[in-house]
């Protein structure tokens, strides 16, 4: 059951956006390595950096759930499970060149969360890569932080 469902249009400058604790301490610039780039996902203790197909404004759905969802593999190009600590009880979503102080706060129960990041229509881009139907969903539920697990990898 969904407890919270919110839609954001996020400017994914440098092909990424962040989902994190409002009081995050992680430097996202230190998270990206070859493995993170390949899976389009970098993780810090209190921050998830989601890679995108375009460095433009992209649609992002945030869902806070009361339990782990079943993976809907047919509807998404790529799905990765991970986790994040949200000790402040405030979740924020913003682009990497945006000011996190300006991000909307979503009130949640403080604690550790498992997360499922789903990517759709990654190959559906214009020739110049500026337009597309790519979209992203981040689902979170209270749980111990799991290891990063690629449930479905995008064919590249």
Distances (CA, A) of 48 to 7, 34, 127, 140, 156: 17, 16, 29, 11, 22
The upper half-sphere exposure of residue 90, i.e. CA atoms within 13 Å in the direction of its Cβ, equals: 10
Query: Counting every residue, how long is the chain?
Result: 156
Sign, Cα dihedral of 106, 18, 114, 135? positive
In tens digits, the chain (156 residues) has pLDDT values of 678 999 999 999 999 999 999 999 999 989 999 999 999 999 999 999 999 999 999 999 999 999 999 989 999 999 999 999 999 999 999 999 998 888 989 999 999 999 999 999 998 887 887 888 999 999 999 999 999 999 999 886
Domain count for the chain, please give it: 1
97: phi then psi, degrees, rounded to nearest 5 = -105, 5
Taking the C-alpha atoms of residue 42 and residue 32, their distance in angstroms, rounded to an integer, is 6
Q: Tell me if 13 sits within 8 A of 55, measured CB to CB.
A: yes
Q: What whole-number distance in Å separates Cα of residue 20 and Cα of residue 24? A: 6
pTM for this model (two decimals):
0.95
Query: What is the CATH classification number for the domain harbouring 30?
Result: 2.60.34.30
Domain that holds residue 16: 2-152
């Amino acid at each position: 059951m969904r407890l919270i469902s919110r839609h954001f249009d996020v400017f994914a400058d440098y092909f990424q956006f962040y989902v994190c604790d409002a009081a995050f301490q992680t430097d996202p610039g230190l998270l990206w390595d070859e493995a993170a780039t390949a899976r389009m996902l970098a993780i810090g203790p209190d921050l998830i950096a989601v890679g995108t197909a375009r460095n433009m404004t992209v649609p992002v759905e945030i869902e806070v759930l009361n339990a782990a969802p079943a993976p809907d593999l047919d509807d998404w190009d790529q799905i990765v499970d991970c986790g994040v600590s949200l000790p402040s009880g405030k979740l924020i979503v913003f682009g990497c060149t945006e000011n996190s102080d300006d991000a909307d706060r979503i009130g949640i129960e403080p604690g550790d969360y498992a997360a499922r990041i789903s990517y759709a229509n990654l190959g559906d881009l214009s020739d110049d890569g500026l337009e597309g139907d790519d979209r992203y969903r981040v689902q979170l539920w209270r749980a111990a932080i799991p290891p990063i697990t690629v449930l479905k990898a995008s064919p590249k």
